[in-house]
Structure 1
Amino acid sequence: MHDKEYLSAAAMAVARQLAENPVILSIPIDPDVADFMGAFVEDALGLADVIEDGLLTVNGQGEVLYEAR
């Protein structure tokens, strides 16, 4: 079984457990399965975001500077 197939099957098993018993307070889940299910969302500011917002500039010496606004 490939990783994606395993992760999908494991996610379905978790969803099935929750559907069968919605009052369960917690279900132990492998971190890889939780990540596949979207549990770990990265909200950090990335380089692409900074460039897209035009906050990076290059000075006369060729140094890249971040301008906080």
Structure 2
Amino acid sequence: MNNSAQDLANEYLRLGGRRLLVMDDNILSTKSWEGDPPEAETFWKQEIEGLAPRRRNEVMSFLPSINVT
């Protein structure tokens, strides 16, 4: 699968993914207060979680952010 980072993030969100981007001192991570629907969780584990850190960060940068300023 050679999707762009934005395509991967969009597909995750389309499947109902609820993770939000958290940026702290330029360190990217995700936070979710509710679990993902099964389809989104599976997609995250199969398509995003195993990516190289730089690529995973690129995908996460397209998620909605809780760091609204």
Structure with the higher strand share, 1 or 2: 2
Give me the TM-score of the superposition, normalised by structure 1. 0.30
Give me the TM-score of the superposition, normalised by structure 2. 0.30
CA radius of gyration, larger in: 1
Higher relative contact order (CA 8 A, sep 6+): 2
